[in-house]
Amino acid sequence: MEQQASAWALVLSGDPALYAIVGLSLGVSLGATLLAALLGAPLGALIALSRFPGRQAVVVMLNALMGLPPVVVGLAVYLLLSRSGPLGEWGLLFTPSAMVVTQTILVLPIIAALSRQTIEDLWQEYREELAAMGVGPVRRIRTLLWDARFSLVTALLAGFGRAAAEVGSIIIVGGNIEGYTRTMTTTIALETSKGNLPLAMGLGMILLCIVLAVNVAAWAVKQVGARFEQ
Amino acid sequence: MFTHLLPIVKARTGITAKVIAQGTGQALETARRGDADVVFVHDPEAEARFVAEGHGIRRQLVMYNDFVLVGPAADPAGVKGREVLPALQAIRRGQRLFVSRGDKSGTHQAELRLWKEAGIEVNAATDRWYRAVGQGMGPALNIAAASDAYILTDRATWISFLNKAGLVLLVEGDRRLHNQYSLILVNPERHPEARSAEGLRFIDFLLSPEGQQEIARFRVEGQQLFFPNASLTQ
């Protein structure tokens, strides 16, 4: 308990190292979620509206990819970004950018699969209307994504939750470098390995609070947005 | 220790070193792929291989500490105060739980050499008393603490470790438990992208009288954890 109190003491005393770690965690997870949303939501909508042979297989595959094991993704990205790998010249290994890359890959299927479901349901409602108006496929996707935007927030939060909680891939491609690629989850893993279980637990509580705060903020945006609509 | 050393290295050489903490086996693998500039490791045989393969140059001794055998305070195998080889034989004879890193780290390799010298063939897959956990020193100590098992650890990690639970230090001081650390520069001819000029300055500082003194000055709970011995370099 004493050291759990000390984790909170770090927060209250404005410990700059802790704030940097929290900042990096939020930056990497939110950055990955944003990137994954920009790619995944349109992709999900496209699959929702398209009819092609093997579509069911693609849908099942996309759903399955939600269960991508982080260490496998971390390892694959590591091999790509390693100096002896194909993208080694970019010099991205053991940087925050590499962590955004792996987390984007992990979050993308979650956002794409959940968006696909949301848009497909909405499409059933809008189909005749949009067909009667004779709008093209790009406009359709844009209209549907816009109208579903508040429902899609849940998909984004699911993606963010995955990213914020994840340690397996970022510790491989980030290296847990103090002051550079050390996040909340890798710090918790490190403190656990030092046997400092109360501090690790305290940091875990702080991470939970941060995730809760992000969810509250998203909820507030949704509430205000929905009211503004009416 | 790097939290203590790096600001000094930065102030004296201008180099911002980024430390990726890995076991020796993994660290050398990372360097083999060209993803490190300098390795700081402790497994003489693996180091010699790494240099012989042309991945590293200028291997230099930098400091040492020692391994210790820790285990449950009740010491069911009765190893307290013995030399390390008879201690391992007693653990084996009594089929007492032993946790092994099992991760090709320097400590794991040292442990395997000790079993061999004790004339014991361990088989992680079939020996129920021998548990290879495939994790770092800290997680392995957590497991040993939770299961009242014996475990070989380096003294620095043991002193800094905060979750000792029922574990106590049982065997120490045997010359076989010497733990030598070396610095190796990643060979710029083999890995042209490696920042070898900076790597060399980093190594030179740690080997200099000032760097050696800083290593000696690092203490946890009032105890010196590492003993510089760069002057002994061949």
**What is the tens place of the pLDDT at every residue in A121-162?**
999 988 888 888 888 888 889 999 999 998 899 999 999 999
- Domain span holding position A10: 2-222
Give pLDDT, residue A13.
80
Q: Which amino acid is at A106?
A: L
Query: Which residues of chain A fall short of a pLDDT of 70?
Result: 1-5, 230
Asked if B20 lies within 8 A of A175 by C-beta distance, the reply is yes
Whether residue A229 is contained in a domain is answered as no
The whole model's pTM is what?
0.87
Asked if B20 lies within 8 A of A94 by C-beta distance, the reply is yes
Arithmetic mean of pLDDT over chain B: 95
Whether residue A227 is contained in a domain is answered as no
Q: What percent of chain B has pLDDT over 70?
A: 99
Among all residues of chain A, which has the CA nearest to that of B35? A83
Number of domains in chain A: 1
Give pLDDT, residue A126.
87
- Give the CATH number, domain containing residue A109: 1.10.3720.10
Is the per-residue pLDDT at B233 higher than 60? no
Residue among B69, B156, B138 at smallest CA distance from A195: B138
Residues 59-98 of A with CB under 8 A from B: 82-85, 88-89, 91, 93-94
Dihedral (C-alpha) A217, A221, A226, A230: value to the nearest 10 degrees? 130
Whether residue A53 is contained in a domain is answered as yes
B204-225 confidence digits (pLDDT tens): 999 999 999 999 999 998 999 9
**What's the rounded Cα separation, in Å, for the pair B84 and B86?**
6
Chain A nearest-CA distance from B234, in A, is 31
Give pLDDT, residue B234.
43
Q: Give the residues across from B64 on adjacent strands.
A: B180, B227
B171-211 confidence digits (pLDDT tens): 999 999 999 999 999 999 999 999 999 999 999 999 999 99
Asked if A178 lies within 8 A of B2 by C-beta distance, the reply is yes
Tell me the domains of chain B and their CATH numbers.
2-64+178-232 (3.40.190.10), 65-177 (3.40.190.10)
Whether residue A120 is contained in a domain is answered as yes
Mind spelling out the 3-state secondary structure of B149-194?
CEEEEEHHHHHHCCCCCCEEEEECCCHHHEEEEEEEEECCCCCCCC
Residue labelled with tokens 């699969």: A113
Whether residue A228 is contained in a domain is answered as no
Whether residue A10 is contained in a domain is answered as yes
Among all residues of chain A, which has the CA nearest to that of B156? A194
- What is the average per-residue pLDDT within B40-46? 96
Is the per-residue pLDDT at B159 higher than 50? yes
Give pLDDT, residue A1.
37
